[in-house]
Chains A and B, each alone.
Chain A
Amino acid sequence: MDKKTVTTISYLSRLKIDPEKEEKITNDLENIIKFVDQLNDAETSDIEPLTNPLEKTAKTRTDQVTAKNLKKELLEIGPSSNEDYFLVPRVVE
């Protein structure tokens, strides 16, 4: 885990890191990874990868529309909106 990786991850996750704390965070992350890395010592070649720790399968829905029109309420909880849309700073491709 180097500083460059930390910068990339912080950009990807849109989490701002205080430059003063960069070194500490890098070290902390490094330690976390070392800790988790112990798992690599376990012999897993005969074991199917697990997608979920619960030994259960999903409950599913039937195909029915149950949602109400909550347009007004939902737009209100957005940080910025007008009567029809959520508004965000202009995104140009």
Chain B
Amino acid sequence: MIWETVIGLEIHAQLSTKSKLFSGGSTKFGAESNTHVDLVDMGLPGVLPVANKEAFYKAIKFGLATGAQINQISSFDRKNYFYPDLPKGYQITQMTKPIVEKGSIKVSTENGEKIINITRAHLEEDAGKSIHDLFEGETGVDLNRAGTPLLEIVSEPEISTAKEAVAYFKAIRQLVTFLDICDGNMAQGSMRCDVNVSIKKIDDKELGTRAELKNINSFKFIEKAINFEIERQIAVIESGESVVQETRLYDSDKNETRSMRSKEEANDYRYFPCPDLLPVVISDKELNEIKDNLPELPEEKQNRYISEIGLESSEAKIISSSKAMADMFEEASKKTDDAKMIAKWLVGDISALLNKENIEIDESKLSPENFGKLIKRISDNTISGKIAKSVLEEVWENGNDVDEIIKAKGLIQIQDESLLEQIAIQVLDSNPDQVAAYRSGKDKLLGFFVGQVMKETQGKANPKSVNVILKKILS
């Protein structure tokens, strides 16, 4: 039997506002427990939520960038369930009139580009955090995160493989980071996703029963969890049973999904319009202002890098692939006239270092200023490209200032021609056989002499000047 997989993703992107969706509580990550809690976040009697306009603006940016319909009147509903980290007993979300509907995004998959449609993107508040393993027989609750604005981005069930799901998630992450509406930090939970997976016979019109995999927060786990779940569902159906619609938890230690929470049977959220909140209206003026100020997106950047700066298309693609990389390129380019050289180093040596450590460039110790300076010191002949590599290595280790390193280690390129001449003569004198061979026609030996001079000067000579000097002496 050939089975077809149908996958839909619900991505929760934490919007990078300063304050919460309905209160003036701070959204800053990593604060001491329960210090960023407003009375509204606590759900105390007598308080009323007031919507944060900035969260709407950020959601609208996403809508515009995905060619979606923006609902200029949107409203809030209550989703009711009991859990200790949800103080009010309900989550405020947008069920009936979401701010964004019917968008789409282009995704690069193994089989080329594919358009994935986005059903809706709506605003909702996050819950607090439960800490299960700290106290004997009790669960601790930290409400710092309660009320933090989330944009829930719901895809159509149009994704066919685990790899495609990862590619879609990456495309959304790239977009929200370029739009500067979410920091995209998966380790801190700024982006998480629920995955709906079902399988059906290839000719079946109807979708199969789906299982929902909850709260997966890394690309690797999305792929593994989906692949495990597909195998599980095939095994269930082929053994003559049927898939149960349920929520399943992915356990990364065991690489398996398992049925979650017994409360599933009572999973009835009883949505109704939130009586505390009036519909929020976005004026044409506000909408146009956001439209006019939409930041440059990856594809536009890529095209501009090629047409205006003259980068190779492969370079432009790598540099525009992440916000951090593009920012580094643009900031560092301001410090030098040689943007092309900046690009070469980013795509070459720096990408190699990043891959080795498996980090993003904004996690490294290299600042755009320092990087720009490094390239400048090559183009103004202060140091050679070879020395620059060793300077980069040191900057990578400790983040020290490029000029300080050059000064402290005495790496400045030897400009003194007479000194270079002296060294060249020394080199030639100590290699009489090679000199004789060169003179009898072995031109290639010039490279050997240049290498020897470079070695003598510990790389501090400019190879071009050495070349000229050697030719002059040998002729």
Contacts of B261 in A (CB 8 A): 93
Chain A interface mostly: loop
A60–B138 contact, CB under 8 A? no
How far does the Cβ of B50 sit from chain A's closest Cβ, in whole Å? 5
Stretch among B21-29, B184-192, B325-333 lining the A interface: B21-29
Residues of B within 8 A of A61 (CB): 19, 24, 50-53
A52 engages B273 (CB within 8 Å): yes
Cα A14 to Cα B263 in complex, Å, equals 13
Measured as residues with beta carbon below 8 angstroms from the partner, the interface class of chain A is 35 or more
CB within 8 Å of A: which B335-370 residues: none
Selected from B24, B37, B50, the residue in CB contact (under 8 A) with A74 is: B37
Q: Which one, A12, A51, A64, A93, contacts B266 given CB within 8 A? A: A12
How long is the Cα–Cα vector from A64 to B143 in the complex, in angstroms? 19
Interface residues of B in 1-56 (CB under 8 A from A): 17-19, 23-26, 32-39, 41-42, 50-56
Q: State whether A90 touches B137 (Cβ < 8 A).
A: yes
Structural contact, B18 and A75, CB atoms closer than 8 A: no
Contact status A85-B24, CB under 8 Å: no
B465 at the interface (CB under 8 A from A): no
- With a cutoff of 8 Å between Cβ atoms, the chain B residues found around residue A60 in the complex are 50-53, 56, 280
- Complex Cα spacing A70 to B142, Å: 13
Whether, in the assembled complex, B260 has its beta carbon less than 8 Å from a beta carbon of chain A, the answer is yes
Known contacts A64-B18, A64-B24, A66-B19; is A91 also within 8 Å of B280 by CB? no
Interface 0/1 of A56-89, CB less than 8 Å to B: 1111111111110111001100001010111111
**Are A91 and B140 also in contact (CB < 8 A) when A65-B26, A74-B42 are?**
no
A47: Cβ under 8 A from any B Cβ: no
- Is A45 positioned at the interface, with any CB of B under 8 Å from its CB? no
* Minimum distance in angstroms from A57 CB to a CB of chain B: 4
Cα A81 to Cα B149 in complex, Å, equals 26
Interface footprint category on B: 35 or more
Chain A residue with Cβ nearest B135: A87
- Whether B170 is near chain A, meaning CB under 8 Å from some CB there, is no
Instruction: Name the residue of chain A whose CB is nearest to the CB of B19.
Output: A65
Residues of A within 8 A of B143 (CB): 74, 86
B25 lies within 8 A of A65 (CB): yes
What distance in Å separates the Cβ of A65 from its nearest Cβ neighbour in chain B? 5
B447 at the interface (CB under 8 A from A): no
- With CB as the reference atom, state the residue of chain A lying closest to B75: A51
Render B78-100 as a binary contact track against A, CB cut-off 8 A, 1 for contact.
00101110000000000011000
Q: Known contacts A61-B53, A62-B54, A85-B140; can you find 8 more A-B pairs with CB under 8 A?
A: A12-B266, A57-B281, A59-B50, A60-B56, A64-B19, A67-B36, A70-B39, A82-B135
Interface positions of B (Cβ within 8 A of A): 17-19, 23-26, 32-39, 41-42, 50-56, 73, 75, 80, 82-84, 96-97, 130-132, 134-135, 137-143, 249, 260-261, 266, 268, 270, 273, 275, 277-281
Q: Kindly list the 9 A-B residue pairs having the minimum CB-CB distance in the complex, ordered from nearest.
A: A66-B24, A85-B140, A63-B54, A67-B38, A58-B278, A86-B141, A60-B53, A88-B84, A67-B25
Q: List 25 A-B contacts (CB under 8 A).
A: A8-B266, A12-B80, A12-B266, A14-B82, A52-B278, A57-B278, A58-B279, A61-B50, A61-B51, A61-B52, A62-B52, A63-B18, A63-B19, A63-B53, A67-B24, A71-B33, A71-B37, A74-B34, A74-B42, A74-B143, A80-B138, A82-B135, A90-B139, A91-B83, A91-B84
Which residues of A are at the interface with B, using a C-beta cutoff of 8 A? 8, 11-12, 14, 49, 51-52, 54, 56-67, 69-71, 74-75, 80, 82, 84-93
